[in-house]
Amino acid sequence: MRPAARLALALAACLAAAPALACGPRTDCDLTTADGTARSYRVALPGPRADGAPPGAVIFFHGHGGSAEGAMRNEGLVAVAGDLGLALVAAEAEGQEWSAPNAPGAGSAQGRGDELGYLDALKADLAARFGIDPARTLVAGFSSGAMLVWTLACERGADFAGFVPMSGTFWAPVPQSCPEIPANLMHFQGTEDTTVPMEGRPIEEAHQGNLDQAFTLAESLSDFGPPETTQEGDLTCTRRTDSAGRILDLCLFPGGHSFRPDFIARAAADFLPPP
């Protein structure tokens, strides 16, 4: 065998044996949580910032039965993140459902798995692998993903720039307190939502939480001032601000169980530092 042929075969063997390091919108990014659990996510990166600052991100938690792959097929979601100059990070549940406290089949108030550990590992991996700045990052979710986002805001409220749950809150019972105050939180909810109504409904042995109770909890975490209500298009938003400038906002829209990517753009305009 000629030397060139032997070299080509050796290179091919090395490439075949090497781990797949590249990941992106069509390929899983693998990570391991602190307890040794293998998890993954997908990411669509923005172009470099003109000022050279680290990029921010939207970490998106999909709804029941969804996937990171499906989130990356949402062209509107990808476009909004790109227009904002943010990475879109599509989180991936283990199975059909997130392991939020008191979710169906969770078996305990702690849930089946360690989603807090997953978020911690995800935050660290995004910083190490892509240089993503959590201070420029929003954590968003839809439906059961939003139910987890409320828990993440309660437990990791100071870790990110803000939280954007859409059409879902805690599973009942709503916690009586939170270890942390969310940096900012903006919730979007359809007034005709029958899948996750504002008062919640039973699912198997569990029950969805009550949105009013969730906001009562959030309001109790700081010295939020009186509400100010504004109308923006079809959104009726009621906002409270505390002495530290934190924003707590509830935006209602006429319609059912749905979300629009521009909801995330609205939150980004208020929660993220200017580019």
Residue 113 is predicted with a pLDDT of 57
> Which position has the higher pLDDT, 154 or 275?
154
> Which position has the higher pLDDT, 54 or 270?
270
pLDDT, tens digit, for every residue of 55-96?
Answer: 999 999 999 999 999 999 999 999 999 999 999 999 999 887
Give the DSSP letter string of the chain: --HHHHHHHHHHHHHHHS------SSSPEEEE-TTS-EEEEEEEPPPPPTT-PPPEEEEEE--TT--HHHHHT-HHHHHHHHHTTEEEEEE--SSSS---TT-TT--STT-SS-HHHHHHHHHHHHHHHH---GGGEEEEEETHHHHHHHHHHHHSTTSSSEEEEES--PBSSPPS--SS--S-EEEEEETT-SSS-TT--EETTEEBPPHHHHHHHHHHTTT----EEEEETTEEEEEEE-TT--EEEEEEESSSS---HHHHHHHHHHHSPP-
Pick left, alpha or beta for residue 36 (phi over 0 → left; psi -120 to 50 → alpha; otherwise beta).
left
pLDDT, tens digit, for every residue of 101-152?
Answer: 998 875 444 444 589 999 999 999 999 999 999 999 999 999 999 999 999 9
Residue 274 is predicted with a pLDDT of 76
pTM attached to this predicted model: 0.90
Domain spans, the chain = 22-271
**Is the domain covering 22-271 a CATH 3.40.50.1820 domain?**
yes
> Which position has the higher pLDDT, 13 or 231?
231
Residue 47 is predicted with a pLDDT of 86
Mean pLDDT across 182-204: 97
For residues 27 and 20, give the distance between their C-alpha atoms in angstroms, rounded to a whole number.
Answer: 10
Nearest by Cα to 126 from 69, 185, 60, 72: 60
